[in-house]
Structure 1
């Protein structure tokens, strides 16, 4: 659980200011507050606040830079040239102690870019996105290998199982970390430290190591011991108090996208730290508070409230600057399109298209604020037009008239979306227990084709022998003994079996 703060609560929270989650910003002569950088690198911390440049203020700098970069001298290419077939992070090794969405998305992005990501689980406690059902029937049927969410978040990785609560498993995890560039975890703050895998230990084994903790509130927060999930992060970010309909209680997305936002910010943070380590030889610890990754979404309201003290106004599907702006029903069952007019000219074109030349010619409706007085009427007029057309046809006609519009797609529609097909966005992946299925590409690409999904997500402990033998040099007999003792394995242990083992060891 977490309190749902108002914007004012965030502004006056001393911890948020101390951590740099709320920072000062200068808007001309106006002093204000806004959301700070969430990428809490300890050795190379981000600047706390700054000044918003006035229009044209940076023009002299931009012109000077353009002059310098368009001369005859060109930057020299790296020694040996550029290997076009080499993935950006090829040669980088990541040890992934994360579960669920936030951490695995961070490390999957690194894996998609070519890093060798080794995902560490345990047969006693595998990634909970394999499923939280620990009953014998679930385990015996290996249903935990059939979870699509796990398979999408952990592709391009290798998988190993290690019982970190036992000395042999801990020692092997240390050896893996000693040879890695990056270690990532999204457990509660003290989990790895109590196991003996804290940054204070690992940096003595590997001074170049970049280690990131992706906890909910941060290592030095008064809430450091609180557990949280993506929905909790959204609730605590201030966002629910500024979205939704004006007269309703605070609203949520119910999609837990705090995890995804945290994962992508975490990826950016480790890449910054990796560059620093490459140039200096010094690794560092990154204290990423996932809740702070959500706060920039509320930044406009934070800044406005810090200046005028006005409570945030909620607009639902409407917009504070654009009229109309909303989601309108189209012909057919549950078909919708989003339409907006961002300026006077677009409003004029929209009014003509939907058959309301009287609105287009009415000088009193030129401004968005004037149109807001009859917003209900305008919305009914737009929907009267969209209801007569399928959503795709409506979008085509609107965009042909240079009016901002897009179909509100259902997830199932994306499988046959023309745009995604033209970009080869969906790739077919073959995986044991699941068979052939589509997965989304990483949206970053260097040419016309996306980075290929090289391998499917690992089955539990799939690469135990490959990693223990190939990387750590263990013999076949040693690996067999580890499996016999339950330090490694390839089959999940049910709750019932886990209790039996625990009782027999006492």
Structure 2
């Protein structure tokens, strides 16, 4: 099943992949030979994993003074929590997000999205690019100590600011909003069909009130501010849902947007495979990969031409490029590579399966 991991297949396309048993001297020696000619090494292990293997920055910079090493642990190398094991949910909790989302009278709510990996990767990419410029100009590499938990802090910054000013934890709003009234998710015609909408200014509120059949609200002077509408927010939401509940979600979105009201369908994940916007951008590309077959892959969200950046190759299967990399970069012979495979230093299956 590891060959079918969706995240791996998306994140590792256009790359080559090899296997090395770093716990054995031959595998460690090959890793050092590869790193001696590398520009960047990145890891998101716990902070002591690579040093214990003999691949700490103190060792690698002697092999390659220009090497940029990016360590992407959860809490950082010099943290009080450096030895804590952490996953995506750990970082979400540590950043304070579950406390500030959800319903006002409810417990902390988890998103179960590993934000730390993606946001840590973006910050790590920026740090590596700057470090590479430094290495090119000076001939010296750097050790970058990135703490994924710190990359999460901007998510919580608005609540930190509000609590610092007011001295109390800001209230939770659920799908409502501290500034915009109304703001929320409303049921549409059909099963599990929803549309999100927001009135982000008073003019938009007036247009919304007319659209849902309440022109009296549009001209009511007592409702011309979000603070005033907050007093009857429940009633407003019931009126909106009475309007949305008789319409297909896409139809509701179209009518709302035609009325210059911020709105969007709450899509099911599988709906994205046939989303007209994504199709118009050719965002999904068909990729053929061993163990999976032909399947759609998302493109990069940036492009420098009319079409998306091409996916040249699918993500590598385990050990797919052992021979190509070890012969091409290190000059190993076919016999040497075969010997490494026979000894289990390299391979094309998990060690637990091959042993």
- What is the CA–CA distance in structure 2 between the aligned matches of 1:271 and 1:344, rounded to whole Å? 45
CA contact (8 A) 2:319 2:347 kept: yes
- What is the CA–CA distance in structure 1 between the aligned matches of 2:209 and 2:138, rounded to whole Å? 60
- TM-score using structure 1 length: 0.68
Matched position secondary structure for 2:109: coil
Alignment partner of 1:465 out of 309, 312, 323: 323
Q: Quote the residue 1:155 is aligned against.
A: 13
Q: Quote the residue 2:333 is aligned against.
A: 475
- What is the CA–CA distance in structure 1 between the aligned matches of 2:93 and 2:188, rounded to whole Å? 32
Q: Quote the residue 1:174 is aligned against.
A: 32
**Residues 34-65 of structure 1 deviation map (CA, whole Å, 9 limit, x = unaligned):** xxxxxxxxxxxxxxxxxxxxxxxxxxxxxxxx
Q: Quote the residue 1:218 is aligned against.
A: 76
Q: Quote the residue 1:335 is aligned against.
A: 193
Matched position secondary structure for 2:69: strand
Q: Which residues in structure 2 correspond to 1:303-322 (within 5 Å)?
A: 303-322=161-180
Q: Quote the residue 1:239 is aligned against.
A: 97
- What is the CA–CA distance in structure 1 between the aligned matches of 2:213 and 2:141, rounded to whole Å? 63
CA contact (8 A) 1:231 1:254 kept: yes
Alignment partner of 1:401 out of 239, 242, 259: 259
Q: Quote the residue 1:202 is aligned against.
A: 60
**Residues 207-263 of structure 1 deviation map (CA, whole Å, 9 limit, x = unaligned):** 221111111111001110111110111011111111111111111102233322222
Alignment partner of 2:113 out of 235, 255, 267: 255
**Number of residues of Structure 1 aligned to a counterpart in Structure 2:** 355
Alignment partner of 2:212 out of 354, 359, 367: 354
Q: CA deviation at 1:466?
A: 0.5
Q: CA deviation at 1:151?
A: 1.4
- What is the CA–CA distance in structure 1 between the aligned matches of 2:167 and 2:139, rounded to whole Å? 47
Instruction: Please report the RMSD computed on the Cα atoms of aligned residues, expressed in angstroms.
Output: 1.3
CA contact (8 A) 2:194 2:249 kept: yes
Alignment partner of 2:238 out of 364, 380, 383: 380
Alignment partner of 1:442 out of 286, 293, 300: 300
- What is the CA–CA distance in structure 2 between the aligned matches of 1:382 and 1:322, rounded to whole Å? 15
Q: CA deviation at 1:353?
A: 1.1
Q: Quote the residue 1:60 is aligned against.
A: none
Q: Which range is displaced more, 411-420 or 203-212?
A: 203-212
Q: CA deviation at 1:280?
A: 3.1
Q: CA deviation at 1:274?
A: 2.2
- What is the CA–CA distance in structure 2 between the aligned matches of 1:208 and 1:168, rounded to whole Å? 24
Q: Quote the residue 1:81 is aligned against.
A: none
**Residues 265-295 of structure 1 deviation map (CA, whole Å, 9 limit, x = unaligned):** 2222222222332333322111111111111
Q: CA deviation at 1:447?
A: 2.0
- What is the CA–CA distance in structure 1 between the aligned matches of 2:189 and 2:182, rounded to whole Å? 20
Confirm whether residue 484 of structure 1 aligns to residue 334 of structure 2: no
Q: CA deviation at 1:318?
A: 0.5
CA contact (8 A) 2:95 2:152 kept: yes
Q: Quote the residue 1:415 is aligned against.
A: 273
**Residues 59-113 of structure 1 deviation map (CA, whole Å, 9 limit, x = unaligned):** xxxxxxxxxxxxxxxxxxxxxxxxxxxxxxxxxxxxxxxxxxxxxxxxxxxxxxx
Q: CA deviation at 1:352?
A: 1.1
- What is the CA–CA distance in structure 1 between the aligned matches of 2:187 and 2:234, rounded to whole Å? 15
- TM-score using structure 2 length: 0.97
- What is the CA–CA distance in structure 2 between the aligned matches of 1:206 and 1:218, rounded to whole Å? 23
Q: Which runs of 5+ in 1 are unaligned?
A: 1-142, 499-506
Larger relative helix fraction: 2
Q: Which runs of 5+ in 2 are unaligned?
A: none
Q: Quote the residue 1:130 is aligned against.
A: none
CA contact (8 A) 2:253 2:264 kept: yes
**Residues 439-490 of structure 1 deviation map (CA, whole Å, 9 limit, x = unaligned):** 1111121122111111111111110111011001111221111111111111
CA contact (8 A) 1:318 1:326 kept: yes
CA contact (8 A) 2:286 2:294 kept: yes
Q: Quote the residue 1:56 is aligned against.
A: none
Q: CA deviation at 1:428?
A: 0.5
Q: Quote the residue 1:392 is aligned against.
A: 250
Q: CA deviation at 1:348?
A: 1.0
CA contact (8 A) 1:213 1:288 kept: yes
Q: Which residues in structure 2 correspond to 1:84-95 (within 5 Å)?
A: none
